[in-house]
Amino acid sequence: MSQALTSGLKIGREMDPDLAMLTGEGAQQRVKQAEPDAGSIVPLWQRISSRPAESLPDYYRLPLLKEPVWIWSVPAYFYLGGVAGGCAVLAAALPGKRRFDALASWCRLLACAGVTVGPALLTWDLGKMTRFLNMLRVFRPSSPMSVGSWSLAGTGMLATLSLLLGKKAPSSVRYGTALGGVMVAGYTGVLLGNTANPLWLEKRRLLPPLFISSAIASTAGALELLPLNLHEEKVVQRFGMVGKVGEAAAMVAMERRTPANKEAVYGFEKGRGGLLWNAAKVALVAGVVLDLIPAKSSTRRKASGLLTTLGAICLRYALLETGKDAAREPQAVIGPQRRRMQGGE
């Protein structure tokens, strides 16, 4: 046995490949450790509080659903995709006047950077990174991830073309990039809403507006960090204010608990998810307050941009963390479904 293990061929399976062939459906599964470890099972136990099993009808308080397996790069992409989308839209809306040249070229650059780095971040999360092109193997309208992959690929090409052609880009390319940008900024909200996760499912109508308004805010936040002239600053600030107000409203609505969804919408108050969520709120409000100070100074603008950016990033991570919390809580799945059944009867 030790020979089979040291050969590194079939580790973790306690089977000598010379004696038997592994051809079963699961035989291709790779295992890291020679001694099988807990996998994802032990952490699961550690996270579960013990509570008398009789009080609620569930199975030893064990999670009913699987947690999202996405790593840090996915919320990072959510942020970048939002910035890229907002920049693409703003670039198309700006008139071709000289005083907006700098802003327009920054927008084109950020849009292109966002939709090029974004897919790289998504690939980093894949279990099999070499197979990232399989995302474009089929088009499946029922899957927001498939729709998003195609939008991202299309917008990537258009945004690169816009960047290369610069001011000379034909309007079809400019407007095409803007439409693609809107898709990239918004589909992520639908993607989270189209899951069985109790929190995201409960808030499925709210997530797309939250993502889009936060995309506007993040765009303004990122642009405010750059050198801008007076006209450009005004445009960015007004565009951003719409997004920030929308984001704040959507966040308030996200937190709203009704008797129907009380178990699912509890993660905003505690744990890592709650911390990130509150940080997002504080940063967003602080950014708006700075915006409203009438004094004209680039430091104030940059500080506001930084706070807005931080808030938008925290928001994306908070959504993933609170989603994980909701998946861990069996009552978040059972409760709302039970009440829906009773209401329907």
Partner 1 sequence: MTATGFFTDTSVCIGCKACEVACKQWNQLPADGNFFSGRSYDNTIHLEATTWRHVAFVERSLQLSGQITARPFSWLLMSDVCKHCKRAGCLEACPTGAIVRTEFESVYVQPDVCNGCGYCVVCCPFGVINRREDDGRAWKCTLCYDRQKTGGEPACAKACPTDSITFGKLDELREIARKRLELLHSRGVHEAYLYGMTDDDQPGTGGLHAFFLLLDRPEAYNLPPEPAVPTKGVGASWGTMGVAAAGMLVAAVAAVRSVEGGKK
Report the candidate in 70, 331, 113 with the shortest Cα–Cα distance to residue 223: 113
Q: Which of 4, 115, 169, 207 binds partner 1 (CB under 8 A)?
A: 207
Collect all residues with Cβ–Cβ distance below 8 Å to 342 and sequence separation of at least 6: none
What sections of the chain are H helices per DSSP? 2-6, 41-47, 73-93, 101-125, 144-165, 171-193, 198-202, 207-224, 230-255, 271-292, 298-328, 330-344
Q: Which stretch binds partner 1 (CB under 8 A): 165-173, 241-249, 278-286, 304-312?
A: 241-249
Site membership for partner 1, residue 51 (CB under 8 A): no
Binding mask 171-190 for partner 1 (x = CB under 8 A): -------x---xx-xxx-xx
Q: Which of 4, 84, 89, 283 binds partner 1 (CB under 8 A)?
A: 89
Near partner 1 in 274-313, by CB under 8 A: none
Site membership for partner 1, residue 5 (CB under 8 A): no
Token code pair at residue 34: 């020679």
Site membership for partner 1, residue 2 (CB under 8 A): no
As a whole number of angstroms, the distance between CA 309 and CA 225 comes to 9
DSSP 163-192: HHHGGG--HHHHHHHHHHHHHHHHHHHHHH
Closest contact distance (angstroms) between CB of 272 and partner 1 is: 18
Instruction: Using DSSP, state whether 34 is helix, strand or coil.
Output: coil
Closest contact distance (angstroms) between CB of 23 and partner 1 is: 8
Site membership for partner 1, residue 205 (CB under 8 A): yes
Site membership for partner 1, residue 18 (CB under 8 A): no
Closest contact distance (angstroms) between CB of 314 and partner 1 is: 21
Closest contact distance (angstroms) between CB of 87 and partner 1 is: 10
